[in-house]
Structure 1
Amino acid sequence: MGKRRLEDALNQLEHPVNVVYRCFELDPTVERDVGYNIYEKLSQKYGMSIDEAKATCKNMEKTAREEDLDFRFDTLVLTNTFDAHRLTMFAKNHGLMKEMTERILRAFYTESKHIGDHATLLELATDVGLNRDQVAEMLAGNAMSDQVRADQQEAQNYGIRSIPFFLINKKYAITGAQQTETFVQTLQQIIEKDNLSSASNLNGAVCDENGCEL
């Protein structure tokens, strides 16, 4: 949802913006094939009941629909996402990172596909125009692993521990799925401040669920 709202905000700005996706695993320890669902995972992680976890997810589904997104938590397949990240980095080298990212997200949240499964990733890769044989060779080895880990290390260096997280010009942070209007206002402030002040005098823009401030 944060991604969609940022995209809507960028469409309202009269300023060129280059968006680059970075790799970040919420839980690198998750197995490729798991025996539990998202409700059980949330219950264990946050100490809530299964019913509370379901209610939380239903609220997220409702909010997603308001953004023309179709989230289906009942059938969502949890998995390790490292290989999916490797695929996005491979796609980046072929100029298709944005398309690959969007396709993987739709497959995961809407189509209930197993995005840790190599056969599934091959299918998604060909959907966006990548060469199937090249992708199969990449997935069979360790290609792009260093690039994924480099992104994760950079996130750690910045102190990033949750997503969505938007880092702008390596100086400003917007965290959480802010409302589109909040993105627009904050980005406009950043653009104005960067034009008027030197980088050495800037304070970061930090946002949370209550909003953003420079």
Structure 2
Amino acid sequence: MKIEIWSDFACPFCYIGKHHLEQAIGSRTDIEVEFKSFELDPQTAIHHDENIHELIAKKYGMSYEQAYENNQRIIQMAAEAGLTFNFDQMKTTNTFNAHRLTQFAKTKGKGNEFAEAALHEYFSNGAFLNDETTLLSIATSVGLAEQEVLEVIRSETYDTEVRNDEEQARQLDITSVPFFLIDGKYAVSGAQPVTAFQSVLAQVDEKNQREKPIILNTDESVPHCDDDHCAIL
């Protein structure tokens, strides 16, 4: 089973939904998870003078107090998922460079590890995801080579890979994240609870079992090929 997750580093529900999915997967080793790039606001500035509460209030046309209370509810939801969110230290920024580094990390088999580390640093530790030193520290913490990471940060490499993920999202009519696509045909949207993910995985398992080829003849004495050789018996 393969699960593709369209997600953004600025999306708190993406991090929560990711952890809910991981809890639903548990110790299963037959599921491949791939992080896909999605920018909620590609035009957002790298630096902001306002804090996250002020930005949310301005964006959604609410009072500072309403924005603060809403963020407190998200913090509680994160805590229930086993995560620690620190909105007061959060440094809102453009996430394109973090997405580029994720695409690079995927080529080294470290895409999910980098995404997890970056989300943790952003939401829990107030990391600024457009600082070269910070991005380098996150990348090397998951085993990526320092010089290669610096070359990616200081260039425009992996721009195309980010845009390809976003174009695929447009083709699939994905307008909000997190968005989970299972085996290319089963979709789940939003930070669903663990039980919902467990139910979905069970349903997909059942469908995959039903869709296996039906063997009508088990006579292995006829010509066939296996891992070792091809034989005429």
Question: TM-score normalised by the shorter chain: which range applies?
Answer: 0.7 to 0.9
Moved more, 69-78 or 161-170: 161-170
Change (3 A) 1:55 1:193: same
1:165 correspondence with 2:189: no
Unaligned runs of 5+ in 1: 199-214
In structure 2, how many angstroms separate the alpha carbons of the residues matched to 1:37 and 1:185?
38
* Structure 1 counterpart of 2:19: 4
User: Distance between the aligned counterparts of 1:47 and 1:169, measured in 2?
Assistant: 39
* d(CA) in 2 for partners of 1:128, 1:142: 22
- What letter corresponds to residue 11 of structure 1 in structure 2? G
Aligned partner of 2:228 in structure 1 is none
Higher relative contact order (CA 8 A, sep 6+): 2
Correspondence list, 1:142-161, <5 A: 142-161=156-175
SS at the partner of 1:143? coil
How far residue 41 of structure 1 moved from its aligned partner, in angstroms, is 2.1
Query: Distance in 1 between the 2:146 and 2:64 partners?
Result: 40
Contact 1:43 1:53 in 2 (8 A): yes
TM-score by length of 1: 0.87
Match of 1:212 in 2: none
2-side partners of 1:93 and 1:18: how far apart? 15
1:175 to 180, 185, 189: 189
Q: Is the 8 A contact 1:32 1:117 kept in 2?
A: no
Of 134, 141, 155, the match for 2:155: 141
CA RMSD of the aligned region, Å? 1.5
Deviation at 1:161, TM superposition (A): 1.3
Alpha-carbon distance, 1:194 to partner? 3.3
The code of the aligned residue for 2:26 comes to N
- 106-115 vs 14-23, which moves further: 14-23
Deviations 1:102-139 (Å, cap 9, x if unpaired)?
Answer: 11001100010101222211111111111111111111
1:22/1:151 contact within 8 Å kept: yes
Runs (4+) off by over 4 Å: none
Structure 2 segments unaligned to the other structure (5+ residues): 1-15, 213-233
Report the secondary structure of 1:19's partner residue: strand
What pairs up with 1:106-121 in 2 under 5 angstroms? 106-121=120-135
From 60, 77, 97, the counterpart of 2:74:
60
The match for 2:230 is none
Aligned counterpart, 2:224? none
CA displacement, residues 6-59 of structure 1 (integer Å, 9 cap, x when unaligned): 0010117x6721111101111000111122222222222222211111111101
Cα distance in 2 for partners of 1:117, 1:152 equals 23
Match of 1:202 in 2: none
User: SS at the partner of 2:180?
Assistant: strand
1:19 aligns with 2:19: no
